[in-house]
Amino acid sequence: MMELKVYDIKGKETGRTVQLSEKIFGIEPNEHAIYLAVKHYLANQRQGTHKSKERGEVKGSTRKIKRQKGTGTARAGAIRNPLFKGGGRVFGPRPRNYSFKLNKKVKRLARKSALSTMMKDGNIMVVENFDFDTPKTKNFVEVLKSLKLDDKKSTFVFINPNKNVYLSSRNLPKSKVVNGLNLNTYAILNAGKLVFTEDAIPEIEANF
């Protein structure tokens, strides 16, 4: 088992520790699984609505604009020829779906590999459970300063996070508050510093 100290939101040690499962946070990272999971996530973010007009779709006559021979220039058909200004585009982008299937076991392995990578790099910490009575960005900034994360990227992982905590963090470009049950490989690796609340650890281990 692996141990991490638990801090309070003032940045001080509470004297408690949490046990982390080596099956989740201590495996040998599988880089190919991580690559596939990140690629899968980013592909799913693409709308695929790109479109340009081709020769048969641009406005213009289909009349042959000049005779075939005897002009001294290249032969040409309609004004919608892609070689002319205002003509259609050759092999332009068309709407398509970029998503692809990825097996659940590969996704699970990728998440474990990402957590293990963050653990090896010392980018995981645990804080005691906390919430705010009212949504206030200043309160969340004070927490970041206490944990020395105010100038770093950070992702706070809750289980069913307090709405006020989420709203307090929403205006901060470098910090995020996420639900641990929705944690994916991309979010883990993009976190900078991954901050788990105390009650999120057992839920994460059970889910992963």
Over residues 100-138, the pLDDT tens digits come to 999 999 999 999 999 999 999 999 999 998 988 899 999
| 87: pLDDT strictly greater than 90 | yes
| 161: pLDDT strictly greater than 80 | no
Write out the residue range of the structural domain in which residue 193 sits.
2-46+98-207
38 in the same domain as 52: no
132 in the same domain as 86: no
Please report the pLDDT score of residue 1 as a whole number: 65
Please report the pLDDT score of residue 88 as a whole number: 93
77 in the same domain as 121: no
| 163: pLDDT strictly greater than 70 | yes
Confidence (pTM)? 0.82
152 in the same domain as 117: yes
30 in the same domain as 119: yes
72 in the same domain as 82: yes
pLDDT class of 146 with cuts at 50, 70, 90: very high
112 in the same domain as 81: no
User: Residue range 38-48: average pLDDT?
Assistant: 95
Number of domains in the chain: 2
User: Residue range 43-65: average pLDDT?
Assistant: 93
Sign of the C-alpha dihedral computed for residues 184, 188, 189 and 192 taken in this order: positive
61 in the same domain as 106: no
61 in the same domain as 120: no
